[in-house]
Amino acid sequence: MRKSIAILAFVAAALMAAAPSFAADIASILNNRPEKDNFQIIHVNDLARLMADPQSHVHVYDADPESVRESEGMIPGARPLTSSGHYDVAEELPTNKHAKLVFYCHNQH
């Protein structure tokens, strides 16, 4: 009995040690690596330069609720999202997946 428990423990330890490399091999076989995220925070002056340059093709979106837009205003040229969390991507965002997108809110939390 002790011998079978020792063998079972050895097999379990070997499987646990091999699991990360097996998972990595499956990911490479499936070519399921996540794309690099180009998310970044930009300064107001950088946004102003982008918006002033017609070649930048930047799209600016206001993610504030309507009540905040009424009290705080919007950046001129920005487009309001219908909702800060549940907007229709196909209808509200550009179809070009490589477009430069800027989202902002007043973050009154």
Mean pLDDT by runs of 10 across the 109 residues of the chain is: 50 45 53 71 92 93 90 93 81 88 81
pLDDT at residue 75 in the model: 93
Phi and psi for 96 in degrees, rounded to 5?
-70, 110
pLDDT at residue 83 in the model: 80
pLDDT at residue 89 in the model: 83
Q: Which domain holds residue 20?
A: 1-33
pLDDT at residue 6 in the model: 46
Residues 28 and 55 in one domain: no
pLDDT at residue 15 in the model: 46
Residues 53 and 10 in one domain: no
Helix (H, G, I), strand (E, B) or coil at 58: strand
Residues 28 and 73 in one domain: no
Instruction: Give the whole-angstrom CA distance, residue 61 versus residue 40.
Output: 15
Residues 29 and 68 in one domain: no
List, in sequence order, every beta strand (DSSP E) within the chain. Answer: 58-62, 79-80, 100-104
pLDDT at residue 33 in the model: 64
pLDDT at residue 18 in the model: 44
Structure tokens of 28? 């490479």
Specify burial of residue 64 (Cβ count, 10 A radius: 0-12, 13-18, 19+). Answer: buried
